[in-house]
Amino acid sequence: MVFGYARCSTNENKQDIERQVQDLKNMGAKKIFQEYESGSNTKRPQLKKLQEQIKKGDTLIVLELSRITRSVHHLCHILEWASDQNITIKAGGFTADCNNGIDPMVESMFLMMGIFAQMERKMTIRRVKSGVANARAKGIKLGRPALTKSKLPQAFLNHYPTYQKGSLTKAEFARLCNCSRPSLYRYLEIIENDQTKNK
């Protein structure tokens, strides 16, 4: 059985995972696990499910080694797991056949790729931190602008009077506004605080 694993760091509204999925299908993956998680997170639900379902003699395909991990320490555990389970891993044109213990040269190549993936992540974090510090030094405000009553979604404002009358549950209200429960609670807090101030 050939398994595929696709990963993006941010959610589906920001990054498109479909290109990875299509490429994995073209490479022969029959079952593909996908998730939006940081590559440094070693406790990913879909990766865990994949590791539970893949069996001896199966193959795992990722487009790049960084899709499965951006941590050299975690990569060592992945290679050890693959060797113990006799799994073949294909990543970025390289194949680690772990059916009879991984070849030392291949293992070294994978570890080198892992070092570069980890280094790339650390350099990105450093650039971001430097950019944030530079922006703050210039007095630039970062983060989302404060949400006020005038900026609340129109759908929320339209249905709020009905909710106030007790004709809508919070779940129904959130569904009508096409928003999450946490977002709804934030909107309610804003409008209720505004009403308190104006009393």
The arithmetic mean of pLDDT across residues 132-145, rounded, is 75
**Whole-number pLDDT of residue 143:** 65
**Whole-number pLDDT of residue 198:** 66
Indicate if the pLDDT at residue 131 is higher than 70: yes
- 165 vs 183: CA distance, rounded Å: 20
**Mean pLDDT of all residues belonging to the chain:** 85
**Whole-number pLDDT of residue 144:** 66
Contact 85, 56 (CB under 8 A): yes
* Of 70, 57, 49, the residue nearest 5 (C-alpha): 49
Look up the pTM and report it.
Answer: 0.61
DSSP 45: H
By annotation, the residues acting in catalysis are 9
Question: Would you place residue 22 in the very low, low, confident or very high pLDDT band (cuts 50, 70, 90)?
Answer: very high
**Whole-number pLDDT of residue 129:** 83
Indicate if the pLDDT at residue 187 is higher than 80: yes
* Of 138, 26, 185, the residue nearest 130 (C-alpha): 138
DSSP 146: P
The arithmetic mean of pLDDT across residues 101-127, rounded, is 82
How big is the CA angle at 195 (ends 191 and 199), to the nearest 5 degrees? 175
Indicate if the pLDDT at residue 188 is higher than 60: yes
Question: Would you place residue 199 in the very low, low, confident or very high pLDDT band (cuts 50, 70, 90)?
Answer: low
Question: Would you place residue 178 in the very low, low, confident or very high pLDDT band (cuts 50, 70, 90)?
Answer: confident
Indicate if the pLDDT at residue 12 is higher than 70: no
**Whole-number pLDDT of residue 158:** 92
* Of 71, 68, 156, the residue nearest 114 (C-alpha): 71
Q: Which of 24-28, 47-51, 134-138, 166-170 is least confident?
A: 134-138
- Measured between its terminal Cα atoms, the distance across the chain in Å is 67
**Whole-number pLDDT of residue 43:** 87
- 90 vs 84: CA distance, rounded Å: 16
**Whole-number pLDDT of residue 17:** 85
Q: Hey, how many other C-beta atoms are within 10 angstroms of the C-beta on 191? A: 17
Cross-strand partners of 124: none
